Structure 1
Amino acid sequence: MRVLLLGGTGFIGSFLLRELLGRGHKAMVPTRRNVKLGRAETIKVSGRPEEYARLVEKLSPDAVVNLIGVLRGDYSVHYKIPGALSKVIEGTGMRLVHVSALGADETSPIEYFRSKALGEREVRRLENYAIVRPSLVLGPGQGLFREALHWRVFPDLKTRVQPVDVRDLAELLADMLEGSGRDEVNVCGAEVVPLGELVKAVLDEAGKRVLLIPLPGFLLRVAGKLDSSLLMALTENICPKKDSVIFERPLQDSITFTAEGLR
C-alpha cells in the first residue's frame, strides 16, 4: 500500500513510519525539514493545508494518515488540513486515517479541543475513514517531560489521565489504515494516574529530579488564558467505556520506555 503520511517526522509519526515500513507498505512523508527517513520517500513542503491536498491529487496514494497537530499556536491546522484533504479525497474511495484527541468537543471552552472536533467534522464527509482519539501518549519524544525537565518544577496536578504507549498506538493506526469503512475510536492504556505523579515517575525513572509544587487550580486557569495548554492539563483524559480500545500494557513498562529518551 502507498501511504501519504502527514506528520511522519514527529513523535507519533516516527513510530508509525517504522510500523508501516515493517509491514511492507511504501511511505511518502511531506516535511519542512531536510531529513532522510531510510526507505521512506520525503517530499519538501512549506506546510500550507492546500499543499497537502495537491500532493494527494499528484501522488494518488492508496491511503492518507494525518498526524499534524499543535499544542500551542495556530489551532486552525486541526480543521484546515483535514478539510483540504477531505475535499480532494471525497468520492475517490481513498482511506483517510485522522488522529484527533481524546476530549475533542465543539462546545469545549478550550480552543484545542474545539479545533480538534471541527477537524473530525471535516473527516466525516468521507465514506472511508478512521478517527482515532488517543489519551496522553507515552514514549521517547513526548515533549511534556522535556518541558518539565527544563523548568525542574511541575504542578502537583491531580488531573486523571489514562496514557497510552506510542508503540501500541502505532500498531492500532496501522491496523486502522489497513481497514475500510467508517471507524471512530478512543484509545487509552489500562491504568489511570494523576498527571503530576506520572511526570515525576517518568523523570525519576530517567534519574532526573523534578519538584512537584501544589498550585491552586484557579491560578492555573488564570494562567491558561495566556497558554491554553495549561487548561488542557486540568482536563481529565479518561476513555469512556463506549467506542474505546484499552491496551493492557503495564504502565511501568511505558514509563521506563519514555524515560529512555530523557537519559
Structure 2
Amino acid sequence: MTEILQTPKLVVVFGGSGFVGRHVVRALARRGYRIRVACRRPDLAGHLQPLGNVGQIQPVQANIRVRWSVDRAVQGADHVVNLVAILHESGRQKFTPVHEFGARAVAEAARAVGAGLTHISALGTDLNAQSEYARTKALGEKAVLETIEDAVILRPSINFGPEDSFFNRFASMARYSPVLPLIGGGRTKFQPVYVGDVAEAVARSVDGKVQGGRIYELGGPQVLTFKQCMQEMLAMIDRKRLLVSVPWWVANMQASILGLLPNPLLTKDQVLQLREDNIVSDAAIRENRTLAGLDIQPQSIGSILPSYLWRYRPAGQFQRKTAE
C-alpha cells in the first residue's frame, strides 16, 4: 500500500527577519514547518536561509501598513505569527499604524483564511499608559482578541541574545566611555528573558500546545534593576566603569535632542517607559500564564551573556588566558 506523505503546515511569520524573528524561524524550522517570512525587505533576509532546509524558508514582501500585501502574504497559511513592532517612530513607521492598525490587519487576514494566530506584544502594555509605545501595543492586543478570540498573545520582557540591542548597546558604549548613564537612578526593574525561550513559546503555540484566548507574560528567572543589569554586563566584559545617575528631567532634555537623530539612543517615549517596572505580574504567576506555565525553563543571563559579550572584553576571546 502506497504511503501518502502529508505536506507540512505553512506558518507565515510577519517580521521574521528581525532579532526575535530569526530565532522564531529557527525554532519553527527545526519542527519541520514550511515558513513564509513576510517582511518589508525580503532581499535583506538571506541570513534566514541557513536556518532550515533548502526551500523550507521563503521570504516574501509585505508591509502591515499595506493591507493588500498582508492578505497576499497569508494565503494558504495554517498559522500566522506577528512579531512586528517599532521602538521609536521614524518616517512612515508610526506607533499607531504599526502596533494597532497593523495588528488588526494581520488578525483579520488570518481569520479570513482560517489560520491560527500568535501575536507578540510586550510587558508593560496598558491602555492608560502615558507612553505611546505601551498604549498602542495594548490597543493592538485588544484588536487581536476582538478579531480572533482564541489568539495567543505573548508579552515578553526585554529580550536578550546574540543580536540584542540592550546588552550589546551598553557593552559597546563601555568600550569607549568611562561612564554609563543610569536614567532615574537605575532603579527600574526588568526581568530579561532569553530570546530563545520566547521563540520556543511561539513554536509551542504553533504546535497547538498553548491555550488560546489568553495573554502570557514571559520573563526570565531573575528580576534585576537597570543598575544591576549594567553591573552584570560590566562583569561579563571585565571592565570597570562609573555608573552615573541621570535625573528624570535631565533624561527628558537629552531625549528631546537625541530623539531627533535617525536612529536615536533615547527618546522621550522611552523615558516614560523607564518610569515603569517591566516584570511579570503577580496575576500572571497565579494563573500560570508564564514560561513555567508553558513548561519552559527560562535561561538566566549568567548562562547566556558570556556566549556573545566576550567580544567586548579588552582582550576579546583571549581575556581569560591573559588574566591567568
| TM-score, normalised via structure 2 length | 0.73
| Matches of 2:239 and 2:66, distance apart in 1 | 39
Q: What's the offset of the Cα at 1:260?
A: 5.3
Structure that is richer in helix per residue: 2
| 1:65 corresponds to | 81
Contact kept in structure 1, 2:23 and 2:195, CA below 8 Å: yes
| Matches of 1:207 and 1:42, distance apart in 2 | 40
Choose which of 118, 130, 138 in structure 1 pairs with 2:160. 138
| 1:186 corresponds to | 217
Q: SS at the partner of 1:109? A: coil
Q: 1:210 to 1:4 in 2, by over 3 A?
A: farther
Q: Which has the higher contact order (CA 8 A, sep 6+)?
A: 1
| Matches of 1:211 and 1:70, distance apart in 2 | 31
Contact kept in structure 2, 1:202 and 1:256, CA below 8 Å: no
Q: What's the offset of the Cα at 1:141?
A: 1.1
User: Structure 1, residues 141-175: CA drift from partner, whole Å, max 9, x if none?
Assistant: 11123332454343231211111111111111111
Q: What's the offset of the Cα at 1:195?
A: 1.3
| 2:304 corresponds to | 254
User: Structure 1, residues 20-67: CA drift from partner, whole Å, max 9, x if none?
Assistant: 00011111012314132224111134563414422245x220011010
Contact kept in structure 2, 1:155 and 1:196, CA below 8 Å: no
Q: What's the offset of the Cα at 1:176?
A: 1.3
User: Structure 1, residues 69-126: CA drift from partner, whole Å, max 9, x if none?
Assistant: 1111111201121111222233653111000010111100000000100100110021
Matches within 5 A, 1:79-158: 79-90=100-111, 92-124=113-145, 125-151=147-173, 152=177, 153-156=179-182, 157-158=186-187
Larger radius of gyration: 2
Q: SS at the partner of 2:104? A: helix
| Matches of 1:203 and 1:9, distance apart in 2 | 29
Choose which of 83, 88, 95 in structure 2 pairs with 1:75. 95
- Please tell me the residue identity of whatever aligns with 1:75: F
Q: 1:84 to 1:158 in 2, by over 3 A?
A: same
Q: SS at the partner of 2:277? A: coil
| 1:245 corresponds to | 290
Contact kept in structure 2, 1:145 and 1:203, CA below 8 Å: no
Contact kept in structure 2, 1:140 and 1:261, CA below 8 Å: no
Comparing 236-245 and 9-18, the one that deviates more: 236-245
Comparing 9-18 and 39-48, the one that deviates more: 39-48
Choose which of 245, 253, 270 in structure 2 pairs with 1:229. 270
- Please tell me the residue identity of whatever aligns with 1:230: V
| 1:167 corresponds to | 196
| Matches of 1:50 and 1:136, distance apart in 2 | 29
- Please tell me the residue identity of whatever aligns with 1:55: R
- Please tell me the residue identity of whatever aligns with 2:61: K
What is the CA RMSD across the aligned residues, in angstroms?
Answer: 2.4
Q: 1:30 to 1:261 in 2, by over 3 A?
A: farther
Structure that is richer in strand per residue: 1
- Please tell me the residue identity of whatever aligns with 2:70: A
Q: SS at the partner of 1:189? A: coil
Please list every run of 5 or more consecutive structure 1 residues that lacks an aligned counterpart in the other structure.
none
Q: Share of identical aligned residues, percent?
A: 27
| TM-score, normalised via structure 1 length | 0.89
Choose which of 26, 30, 33 in structure 1 pairs with 2:38. 30
Q: SS at the partner of 2:154? A: strand
| 1:196 corresponds to | 227
| Matches of 2:88 and 2:168, distance apart in 1 | 16
